[in-house]
Structure 1
Amino acid sequence: MRILQTWIPVLLISVCLAASRPAGASVPAPAAGAEAPIRIGVLAYRNAEFIQATWQPMLAHLNHTLSPRVFELLQADHATLQQAVREGTIDFVLTNPGHYVELETSLGASRIATLHHERSPTADYALGAAVIARSNRTDLQQLSDLRRKRLAATTPEGFGGYQIVWRELKELGIDPEKHLEGLVYTGLPMENVLQAIRDGKADAGIVRACVLESIPDWQAHFRVLSPRTDGNLACAVSTRLYPDWPIASLRHTDPALSRAVIVALLQMLPDREGISWSVPADYQSVHELFRDLQIGPYAYLREPSLRALAREYWPFLAIALLLLLCGIFYTVRVEHLVHKRTAALQAALKEGNAMRERMRAHQEQTHHLSRLSILGELSATLAHELNQPLAGIANYGQSLLRRMERGALTDAAVQQASTEIVAQAGTAAGILQRIRSFARKRPPQREMHKAHAVVGDTLALFRSMLSSPPDIVLDNRLPDSACIHADALQIQQILLNLLKNGLDAMQQLPEQDRRMHVGLSLENGLILIAIRDYGHGLDGIAPKQLFEPFRTTKEDGLGLGLSICEGIAEVHEGRLDASMASDGPGMIFTLALPAHEC
């Protein structure tokens, strides 16, 4: 049966080749000594002696069958073999399935036959890998136990020495680059992996299937992880099975030579190791492995795509999305709080403005009441002052009536009486006008005023309200251009309050000794208005305490006059000070206001 399986494909291919040749043609045979040797490059996955022994029967068969052509082997690793294919220094290549698929895709290699071993009933399922560890490593039983362990392999390009196991680990969720403690690449030959395990350089290692079976008593030294029982291969394996090694012709290989080699290989009987050749196997499973691992001809799949990135980095994308949603929620909440706080601030600002408006109205009312209080305190003397011009008007009117009764009324008498009546009426009207201007209620109006004029009007008003005003000396040392930017009525209110307080302080003095001094001067950009009386001064009260609300030295006083006056001065960016006179009795009150040119 085994012989029939081998020779039926041979006969079919021979018939096909014979039909394709012209009548009388035969397998080409070069003239003796005229042709260069035909070189077959072979992947040296084990030591040179093993490779030579393995492929010597095939080499001898080809040399015998296709004589006088001479075939020779070139043993090389992956990179050297690939370079030889690229440069055309070999005619055929004999390598593992993974390496062949790469050569097929990139350099146009074409398989002409697949290795067949008697340990496997079919060449399509003949190649696998075994992951081994030392027999005393009880912690290593399954492939999943390789996490955080050191794994030895030949090279990253090794099909049976790494890539087959890589696929199995990936399906278990183990990325060799991330989840192992380390990958130990030993290089070829594969015996280096066994030595790395023996020397403790690796916890486990990868070898091609059936390598262990070539070691006497291997089970006493090694254990196979996740062993599989597969009827297709009589060797210990840890992975699924793939097609066996192919032999491939290259782009520059003579097609006639390739056909001759195909016929010769298919005619080869199993050697002492049970090795023969069959028709090319299907290597689709190798393509699937490369596609799953995204290596070799499918390395382009590693290029990031949106779907691949989302699949690989979904935890980070989920966190980023969560942070974005949190950021949006935070922004919306902050905007809501800002809007709410802004509305509250606007309401508070509106309330504050309303409160300031009420305070301003109350302040104006207080100032108005303060002025009325001053007028009330001076009402007795005010009545006396108004009585004088009214009495004069009455006397001149009666004089005219008596002259008319006597018939002695002359034009000169009428003119004199009328003139005096008009003068006395004007005096009374002036007194009332000043009092009405001082007492009226109106909003503050800050304008430029000459300082000495404001002081002069205040003194005139003060004198007009008194029957016996004190002697007031005005000492004006200001330039004529010195002005204040102020509400004149409020400044008069301060000065009248200070003048009245000075007069009250001198009530115990005889009228001839009552005197006051008003000085105007310019100092450091300030206009100073100093009012001094010669009264009894302070009785145990500090000057600064005079400006405290509800503190007074008068029995019937409220203690608000000086406090109000100090507030008015501060509103005008000035100040009001009090001090004891240093050269005699009395107090000195000084109003300081910013000076301006006008």
Structure 2
Amino acid sequence: MRAWRWIFLTLFGIVLSGIASIAAPTVSLTIGVLAWRGDEKARQQWEPTRATLQAAFPEYNIVLRPIGLKGMEAALAAQELDFFITNPGNYIEMEQRYGASRLVTLESVRVGAPAASVGAVLFSRSDRPDIRTLGDLRGKTLLGVSREAFGGFQIGWGVLQRAGIDPFTDMAGVTFAGFPLDNIVTQVANGHADAGTVRACLLEEMAQEGRIEMEDFRVLNPQHVDGFDCALSSPLYPNWPFAKARQTNHVLAKRVAVALLEMSPQSKGGAGQSWTIPLSYQPVTELFKSLHIGPYTLTAGQVFREFLQRNKGWFLLALALVILAALHVWHTEFLVFKRTRQLKESQEKARLRLAELAHVSRQTTLGEMARGLAHEINQPLGSISNYAAGSVRMIRNGVTSAQLEEPLREIAHQAEHAGRVLKRIRGFVDNRASPREKADINALLTEAIDLLGAELRQADITVQSRLAPDLPQLSVDGVAIEQVAVNLVRNAIEAMAAQASGPRILQVSSERDKRDATRLRVTIRDSGPGLDADALEHIFEPFNSDKSSGMGLGLSISYSIIESHGGMIYADNNPDGGVSISFTLPVDQGNNA
């Protein structure tokens, strides 16, 4: 029977545990607390507040998270905190950076006014006869928590500033020991630093704990505030705020504020904590402004002006550096002038090179024209021959002179037409055979782009070169192939120059032909307006040009040159606008030449 009783009690306990686990809150509210004396003391200090909120919100699991200054900022940035308790200075920065809002302000157990509860104490060892006033700290070392610590450095910094002392320039050095603040007191006591600055009342708390003796330390710049029974070197500032993170629900935050305002100093064992309405932190803001920290950090220009004001003795040195800089600028301008002259010489060489290419172009044109004009010349000559032969037969048949007038007029018309055709070839030299030699196609393309560099820049055209490496050399007339590239690039420049808006991009690429590995392919692609179907069909025909200057022979000449090298050339409109002209050359051209 007893065994059955034990079994029953065990099962009953398991059921109760399950019910308790089901009833336990599953949603947590995390409160970050600044652990200025270490994690354990932070938990002890703020446990009454946590317990009050836990009782008011049984549906939540209220969690305290002790954290340092940098950890506080990181946690708010990552939205890991719902609420946080921190010093006034840190709150001002978190409000500015992460949109935090204060709900209530802590009431001090040492002084009745929460608007004047937080201060700092500057201290040294009492056996240091050389340190009795703030002025004695010049040339000495100072120990604080961190540059961002309000009670652990910034308040003391403000005290020194009002005394005309800049701790970063007038003292031998400022060292930051980090949390907990207790370490600063022990290190000064051990002689590791000449002086220290900590939050007011820390010395008294450590003395009550039996860790130090108050008579071992000397308070610098002692201040007296009625009702405040701690050693003090500074004015008092508003107490710590309880604040909500930006993402925390406003309704929940309002309920939390009400619960904290109802908290009495006797809550949860009479720990002495209570909260009041949120106070103005204007004194903290004024301190930050005077120190140029937090949201009031100086701009670079303001820092420079303050630097000049504080370091007038160095101004002459700065002036000397300016003079040296001016000399350097003069030297640089001289080098620029020299480089500009060299550039002009290079441009002159390029101009001469283009003139040489133009000469080659004229040499090639006559042969092209001879083929291109053969049909136009043969047609009028054939007509003249036919009309002349007919006129002879008519004379033999005894026709009258009036009947000969029409064929003779047609002969004259055809002769005039032939004359107009022949005028197109004026100014060109005799055609000559061009030598073939080994050449790098990429080098020829690069040279062509360089020759037209000034025109490309003037037209505000961006060149994108996509030249495949390790392409085989070809046996070609290098000057002629370069002239082809110049013709195609210049044609692209003129096409894009007529473009009213949009980017002007010239793409020059070389590669092995994907369809025939025994050939190289070169493509000149522009972003101009493109061509209509008729213009595209006749693009390589001579005299097919809408330009007022020239005879429309550039692309025709290019066609002739590529064809004479056993290659092919063709043009297509790009899907996104502009024209691509490609030509191929056989890889084994040198062996077949």
Higher CA-based Rg:
1
TM-score (norm. length: structure 1): 0.47
